[in-house]
Amino acid sequence: MEPLFGLIAAAIAASVAYLVTSERRRAQLRVWRAAVERAGLTGVEEAEGGIFEGAFLYGSSGDLRVRLEGYRRGKYEHGTKIVVTGLGHGAGGLSLRREGLGTAIEKRFIGEREIEIGDPGFDDEYYVQGQAPLALAILEPETRRRLAGLLRGQVAVEGREPVEVDASLSDGVLEVRLKESGFSSNRERIPDLLPALLDVARRLVAPKDVAARIADNVGREPEPGARLRAVLVLAREFRQHPATRATLLAALEDASEEVRLRAAMFLGEEGRAALLDLVARTGTDDSCAARAIEALGERLPAEAAEAALRRALGGAGRPSTARACLEVLGRLGRPEAEALLLDALRTEDGPVSAAAAEALGRAGTVAAVVPLREAAERGGDLRRAARQAIAEIQARLSGAAPGQLSLAAGDAGALSLADGEPGRLSLAEDGVLPRDSDETALVFPRDSDEPGTEAQPRARREADERGGSAGTADSSSPDQAKLLAMTGPREKTPQFKA
């Protein structure tokens, strides 16, 4: 008899479970019908599952397709799952997840790329994947606010307490779970939840004209980083779209100097005035001003470059601006800027001094040779830049007329008397005076390679012993005469044999 009683008890238990499950499904369906009616869904279809399958209810709201079904997770959790499709994202649908250990691993080890919207608070909290233009078109400020609340687990219901849910957006499919376990009354809140959820879902529908939506978002975007992302995407991916040029022109008046800079760079000549304004403004960020100068290049007036360089040298923390100005002034080759370039050469900032040396190589005169030689003693990159600058000055001044002193090929600072008259003057190689040469050599002391040792080339000693008369440069070549005075020996007037 005991086995019979066991079978009867099992049958009764199964019947009770079936009745409880059936009643729960019927109760769910009643609530779901009320929810879809309140949400205004059309084409509603209902399906009753078997013992091991839940009930289903389908409906549409415009292009959105909505499915309500029961779900079970683990042994004790069950409830209603609402799935919304038809967002129009296609294969590149958006996915959003809360940042955490899993997303950190994906970015660090798998190399997954996330989309930055430009809103620091949103970007720090959410990991966004998909197509960047689509993300920028959809995730405008109000959508970010509502979607963030949904993904945090709350759906705001007007006039009532928020509904607690578990939500996700993956590959363009929005899914929300409402737990109904135990004595929870959450099921009765589904009619409140569904309309609010669909309101969020409609904001996630892909626009037909992505570029136009991005351009429209810029005007109401409070975050400068998000406006910058929008400008960059429009300029790079939708350059020919009618909305792009209008957005870039409007961005020239943006409150963010970074947005103004990037828009002006994309606009070319139409953005020149905005770039000049960024260079002229005292408070422009160092990096921003430097990039504006680089974008202008030789279109930047020399006076504006000199004024910007003076401001950069006069204040701390503007090395990028200083280097950009020096590059422009060097290309312009203005001797009038030489004094300013020499000021830059004397700065303690190594890269700025090296940039100044390079500029002097292009624009400097003979007056820059001695300061460059002194700067070279500081070593490092400045030493190489200064030596190169002296060589470039040498190359520019090497074409003197007959009888004039000129810079000779070879060591930086070397002099020679131009061909055409007897008694030519040149710097002897390695301090050795060629005895069979028609040239008369003028030898300057070079810096010794070993500390504490004064170089005294043999040609200099021989010239001193002969007691010849001092040579002078032709008055028609003041630069060469000045160079002789600057680069010659400091102990004695150089002697040479006429």
Tell me, what's the pLDDT at 28?
Answer: 78
Tell me, what's the pLDDT at 452?
Answer: 38
Would you call 160 helix, strand, or coil by DSSP?
strand
Per-residue pLDDT of 429-473, as tens digits, reads 443 434 344 433 333 334 434 333 333 343 344 434 444 433 333
Per-residue pLDDT of 25-82, as tens digits, reads 677 788 899 999 999 999 999 876 555 456 789 999 999 999 999 888 877 788 899 9
pLDDT mean across residues, the chain: 79
Six-digit token string for 440: 């008369």
Per-residue pLDDT of 159-197, as tens digits, reads 788 889 999 999 999 999 998 865 556 888 899 999 999
- Structural domain spans, the chain: 2-203, 405-487
Per-residue pLDDT of 378-408, as tens digits, reads 988 999 999 999 999 988 876 544 434 444 4
**Distance (Å, whole) CA 81 – CA 59:** 14
Among 237-241, 313-317, 442-446, the range with the most confident prediction by mean pLDDT is: 237-241
Percent of the chain whose pLDDT exceeds 70 = 70
Would you call 370 helix, strand, or coil by DSSP?
helix
Is residue 446 packed enough to be buried (19+ CB in 10 Å), middle (13-18) or exposed (0-12)? middle
Instruction: Please spell the DSSP secondary structure of 270-336, one letter per residue.
Output: GGHHHHHHHHH-TTS-HHHHHHHHHHHGGGS-HHHHHHHHHHHHHSSS-HHHHHHHHHHHHHHT-GG
Tell me, what's the pLDDT at 479?
Answer: 53
Tell me, what's the pLDDT at 456?
Answer: 39
Collect all residues with Cβ–Cβ distance below 8 Å to 359 and sequence separation of at least 6.
Answer: 326, 327, 329, 330, 341, 344
Tell me, what's the pLDDT at 181?
Answer: 66
Tell me, what's the pLDDT at 398?
Answer: 60
Whether the pTM exceeds 0.85: the reply is no
Tell me, what's the pLDDT at 12?
Answer: 59
Is residue 51 packed enough to be buried (19+ CB in 10 Å), middle (13-18) or exposed (0-12)? exposed
Q: Which residues face 154 on adjacent strands?
A: 164
pLDDT over 70 (residue 482): no
